[in-house]
């Protein structure tokens, strides 16, 4: 049996990262209408771009494979949340645009999202949240450097 008091805290964090990811997805999937947590994350990533991104750019922003992103985008298109169109300069490249339905969904679910985030960070000061953010960014960067900096999945 593990003694969590004496265990290397890095191993605890390692385990909790998986547990938090699983619980986050489960809670979001159970509370959100029409979208899964992963689909919502793709929509959030769309907002990072000034111009509609290519599927490749979107996959990089989500830090996931082209194939996984394509499956999520195709499901979002099927539901009417995004449109897919060919790039004007490179017909092989697909560009992704959020639809009016997506914008309406954001408005309709703004309060639910806000309450979810508030609940997720309840009991944490803004300094604690900032420290957590900084630590997670360092871990993310460190993961990028493992195996010679090949972060692409």
Positions in the chain whose pLDDT score sits under 50: 153
Residue 3 covered by a domain: no
- The two three-digit tokens of residue 30, written as one number: 């159970």
Number of domains comprising the chain? 1
Q: Looking at residue 57, what DSSP letter applies? A: H
Tell me the residue range of the domain where 93 lies: 9-145
Residue 2 covered by a domain: no
Provide the pLDDT for residue 153: 47
Residue 151 covered by a domain: no
Provide the pLDDT for residue 150: 55
Residue 132 covered by a domain: yes
Q: What does the pLDDT look like over 79-119, one tens digit per residue?
A: 999 999 988 888 788 899 999 999 999 999 989 889 999 99
Instruction: Compute CA distances 17 → 73, 113, 126, 127, 132, whole Å.
Output: 26, 21, 20, 20, 12
Residue 62 covered by a domain: yes
Residue 150 covered by a domain: no
Provide the pLDDT for residue 87: 80
Residue 152 covered by a domain: no
Provide the pLDDT for residue 6: 86
- The two three-digit tokens of residue 25, written as one number: 């997805």
Residue 124 covered by a domain: yes
**How much is the pTM?**
0.82
- The two three-digit tokens of residue 3, written as one number: 């003694």
CATH number of the CATH domain containing 139 = 1.10.10.10
């Amino acid at each position: 049996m593990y003694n969590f008091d004496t265990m290397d805290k890095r191993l605890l964090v390692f385990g909790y990262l998986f547990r938090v990811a699983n619980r986050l997805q489960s809670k979001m999937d159970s509370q959100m209408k029409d979208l899964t947590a992963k689909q919502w994350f793709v929509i959030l990533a769309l907002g990072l771009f000034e111009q509609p991104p290519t599927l490749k750019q979107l996959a990089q922003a989500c830090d996931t494979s082209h194939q996984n992103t394509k499956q999520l985008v195709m499901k979002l298109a099927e539901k009417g949340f995004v449109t897919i169109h060919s790039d004007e300069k490179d017909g092989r490249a697909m560009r992704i645009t959020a639809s009016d339905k997506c914008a309406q969904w954001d408005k309709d679910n703004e309060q639910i999202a806000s309450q979810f985030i508030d609940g997720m960070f309840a009991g944490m000061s803004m300094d604690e949240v900032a420290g957590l953010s900084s630590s997670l960014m360092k871990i993310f960067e460190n993961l990028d450097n493992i195996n010679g900096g090949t972060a692409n999945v």
